[in-house]
Amino acid sequence: MTKLSVNINKIATLRNARGGNTPNVVTAATNAEAYGAQGITVHPRPDERHITYQDVKDLQPIVTTEFNIEGNPIPQFIELVLKNKPTQVTLVPDGDDVLTSNAGWDTLKNKTFLQDVIKTFKAEGIRTSIFVDPVLAQIEGAKETGADRIELYTEAYAVAFAKGDTSAVKPYAACAELAHKLNLGVNAGHDLSLDNIAFFKKNMPYLDEVSIGHALISEAIYQGLENVIQQYLKFLK
């Protein structure tokens, strides 16, 4: 079984459009868990355009499944994570001006930096995962950083799958095999959806967790959150 972590960034995007507290991210997280989600993911960005640092504090005591905080480990992010002690921190090398995450780490070039940051989180008992492209050398580099897991950046798979190119899953499967050999856990995320998740799951060995936000929350607008979460859980068995 692969765990489903629901990314609730988009609930915060909608809330921020009016400046009040509707929809409420705490209620959304509680509902997602009640409907079967096995984790809640947030990705507070430095400009707080969706999830705010206050949201992370509000969510920390109410998330009863796995709490996953994603982000670029700049000093204020490191402090936020250490204060709120999630189950997992996922390190993502976002530039300040990006619309959304658009690349994995170069684990070879950033080895020393990542080793230091990962040591800090692990000393506090926080599981560490690093966001990487599906490239074998990057998985070997990830092992060297001391991370517990990798999160494979699935945008390339999602784009290719939408065009009918199912071979795009192959590098992901190869990276998962290598990660498993190296004793690294395997997560995946970005642009996964009800259209592409079943094929991905069927072809991906050792897949511990997927985090899904943009498509899942969009699908929930049409089909309802409970219904959509139930469909993902069926595909991830």
Ligand X SMILES: NCC(=O)COP(=O)(O)O
Residues with catalytic annotation?
Answer: 43, 70, 190
- Footprint (CB under 6 A) of ligand DXP, residues 105-134: 131
Residue 18 C-beta: closest distance to ligand X, Å: 21
Rounded to whole angstroms, the Cα distance separating 152 from 214 reads 17
Measured at CB, which residue is nearest to ligand DXP?
Answer: 100
Structure tokens at 75: 């000093």
Residue 22-61 contact track with ligand X, rule CB under 6 A, x = bound: -------------------x--------------------
Rounded to whole angstroms, the Cα distance separating 169 from 216 reads 20
Q: Tell whether 7 is in a known binding site.
A: yes
54: Cβ contacts below 8 Å, ≥ 6 apart:
none
Among 33, 55, 70, 208, binds ligand DXP (CB under 6 A): 70
Distances (CA, A) of 197 to 36, 64, 105, 178, 209: 17, 25, 24, 21, 12
Stretch that binds ligand X, among 45-53, 74-82, 162-170, 190-198 (CB under 6 A): 190-198
CA count, 13 A, side-chain hemisphere, 159:
5
Name which of 83, 35, 79 is nearest 59 in CA terms.
Answer: 83
**From ligand X, ligand DXP, none, interface partner of 129 (C-beta below 5 to 8 A by class):** none
Q: Determine the size of the site formed for ligand X (CB under 6 A).
A: 13
Residue 222 C-beta: closest distance to ligand DXP, Å: 19
Binding residues vs ligand X (CB under 6 A): 7, 41, 70, 151, 189-192, 211-215
